[in-house]
Amino acid sequence: MCLHANVNSEKIQGAWHQPTSGEEIAVKSMFRNILLMIGVLAMGACDSQPTTPLEGGQIALPVPAAIRQIATLNSLPLEIQISVNNEIVRVVPVGNPDELTTTIVNVPINQNNEIKLAWFAIVGTEKVLLAERSELVPAGRTELNINNYNSTGPEFDADGDGRFNLSEARENRNLLSAIDLEVPFQTAFGGAFANLNSDGIDPDTSGEIGEDDEPTAFSLRHDGSSLIVYVCGKDKTLQGDSLDTNGQYWHDDTVFIYLDGADSDNDSFDGIDDFQIGFIRSTGEMRVSEGGNGQFCPGGACITHSFYNTSTLCEYELSVNLPLADFNMTIGSPIGFDIEITDDDNGGLREGSSAWIGFDDRSDQKPSTFGTINLN
């Protein structure tokens, strides 16, 4: 029996970074076309060698919403392992979103059956456990209750960083390392790029999408004394009315950089080395809305930046120079980092925002939601 599915979905996108060997960093797109579905879908397996069905009935094995949210990872295939009465009866690889649906398995009739589901992410050659659910299903029941799956505990923290695998996958983080991105020494712009796409989870917006922009990209490098952030923006429409009207430049087209020099992961800005820095496209100016009140980069005076609006490849380019010592950043030590771009197409409230890690729009409040980079 082959797969049949009809779905309604909306796109939610982001990017995830898996360090690889060598100077170049392979940046792999992670969150693309994430399915947000409520209905139950039907699936059978098109196996090249048909399996011998167990004697008796059938039971439906739905998919938790959290797993469904990461179903369309282009570079992160999933796997579902199904056991009946302590025997693995099926392993379902998930290479594309349509394959992540309710599975039907045969079970012995007229008896209680122990059903176990385990959901894995495949990262390179590693199999990372995201969640599992085990239940003694009474005879005659036709669907497994998957609401109370388990995703916490030592076995769910593959890299030992204190964040559980499922949460890391949903937060766009590296599952096998406490570092989300390794930044090499480079002598020119380029290197590690990440797409920043509209994520659809911004509670502070008008909801009136004015245009469909191409993905914006950023890259990072360091020269031994400074971290250089480069942004190639693809936003076609420039708006700056909120800055003039009420000073709320976060509702205009603005690039935000977030830094936590010592990667202390606080739940609020510490007034020491946690920063939120805005770069306003309409005026080209910089605003430091968090940080700069203590010993590190007072008032943001140590920062230099330039906007370029004549590029043939980008609608605009932004280069930002962040001296390492002035932000308590050290080569070889983790650094909290995130980047966010707000998009306003028609004035008033912004239409949306995009980010590397903080795709749920919390970076302006909680440095603990920043990603982690390492300067090597």
Give the tokens for residue 275.
């920063």
Q: What is the pLDDT of residues 79-115, one digit of tens each?
A: 999 999 999 999 988 876 677 778 888 888 889 999 9
Domain count, the chain: 2
Cα angle 275-327-224, degrees, rounded to a multiple of 5: 135
Asked if the model's pLDDT at residue 298 lies above 90, the reply is yes
Q: Give the whole-angstrom CA distance, residue 360 versus residue 106.
A: 40
Q: What is the mean pLDDT of the chain?
A: 76
- Identify the pLDDT of residue 79: 92
In a domain, 247, yes or no: yes
- Identify the pLDDT of residue 338: 92
In a domain, 16, yes or no: no
Lowest mean pLDDT among 16-25, 143-152, 242-251, 319-328: 16-25
196 shares its domain with 232 = yes
111 shares its domain with 228 = no
- Identify the pLDDT of residue 140: 85
pLDDT band at 213 (very low <50, low <70, confident <90, very high): low
312 shares its domain with 261 = yes
190 shares its domain with 157 = no
Average pLDDT of the residues in 164-171: 85
Asked if the model's pLDDT at residue 230 lies above 50, the reply is yes
Domain boundary among 170, 199, 221: 170
End-to-end CA gap in the chain: 51
Domain boundary among 111, 139, 170: 170
The alpha carbon of 83 is separated from its chain's Cα centroid by a whole number of angstroms, namely 30
Lowest mean pLDDT among 9-23, 134-148, 334-348, 362-376: 9-23
In a domain, 104, yes or no: yes
220 shares its domain with 322 = yes
Q: Give the whole-angstrom CA distance, residue 29 versus residue 172.
A: 10
Burial of 18 from C-beta contacts in 10 A (0-12 / 13-18 / 19+): buried
Burial of 269 from C-beta contacts in 10 A (0-12 / 13-18 / 19+): buried
Instruction: DSSP letter for 349, please.
Output: S
370 shares its domain with 308 = yes
pLDDT band at 241 (very low <50, low <70, confident <90, very high): confident
Residue 63 belongs to domain with CATH number: 2.60.40
Domain boundary among 107, 135, 170: 170
Q: Give the whole-angstrom CA distance, residue 219 versus residue 195.
A: 10
